Amino acid sequence: MQGEMPATRAYSPVARTLHWIAVAAVLVMIPVGLTMSYRGNVLDIWDGLTNGLYSAHKLTGFLLLWLMVGRLAYRLVHGAPPDEPTLAWWQKAASHLVHWLLYGLLIVVPLLGWIGVSLFPALTIFDLFDLPALAKPNEEAAKRVLSIHGKLALATGALALVHIGAALHHYLILKDGVMRRMLPWAK
């Protein structure tokens, strides 16, 4: 039944803004990461475009790390609105698990990228400045860390697809209030 009043509360404007900025950043980071690494490592083209993509990837990922740290702190302090009352216990459990995994991955993945470029070392962004180094140079370790970085990034993408699928399922098929909680224009 659709009532006059919304049945549940939405996420706060701050939580929604941070969610959608992070979504936009992740949707850019994964294709840019795959493209730059393919052009560089597979095609062996190290031109201005490849290097520019690396710089953009490192800088955006570095900013996303701090956005996610802030977002996690905000979440821990302010909490989230109570779950949609129509959800089954397993839907609540599964969504909480996926949400916390996404928070964790979006901090661990950029951190591993940053550690990786510290070890390599490849800290320079657009020939303008360097990110602070987190470790002493060690190219072998850099390759291992960046390989884990890439695999966990793809795992994050896969989990995000599950999350997006669930959101669309609630919105288009179940037509319950779950999606409304996170929409930019939610009340």
Report the interface residues with ligand HEM, using CB under 6 A.
Answer: 15, 19, 22-23, 26, 29-30, 33-34, 37, 40-41, 57-58, 61-62, 64-65, 75, 80, 95, 99, 102-103, 106, 109-110, 113-114, 116-117, 131, 146, 149-150, 153-154, 156, 160, 163-164, 167, 178-179, 181-182
In terms of CB distance, is 1 or 118 closer to ligand HEM?
118
Closest CA to 163 of 83, 76, 101, 82: 101
- To ligand HEM, the closest distance from the beta carbon of 176 in angstroms equals 10
- To ligand HEM, the closest distance from the beta carbon of 121 in angstroms equals 11
Backbone angles phi, psi at 5, to 5 degrees: -95, 145
Where do we find the tokens 């966990």?
152
Residue 171 and residue 161: Cα distance in Å, rounded? 15
Torsional sign, CA 50, 52, 56, 62: positive
- To ligand HEM, the closest distance from the beta carbon of 34 in angstroms equals 5
**Strand blocks (E) in the chain:** 124-125, 129-130
In terms of CB distance, is 19 or 141 closer to ligand HEM?
19
In terms of CB distance, is 69 or 99 closer to ligand HEM?
99
Length of the chain counted residue by residue:
187
- To ligand HEM, the closest distance from the beta carbon of 57 in angstroms equals 5
- To ligand HEM, the closest distance from the beta carbon of 14 in angstroms equals 11
In terms of CB distance, is 3 or 85 closer to ligand HEM?
85
Would you list the DSSP string of 54-108?
Answer: HHHHHHHHHHHHHHHHHHHHHHHHH--PPPPTT--HHHHHHHHHHHHHHHHHHHH
In terms of CB distance, is 2 or 146 closer to ligand HEM?
146
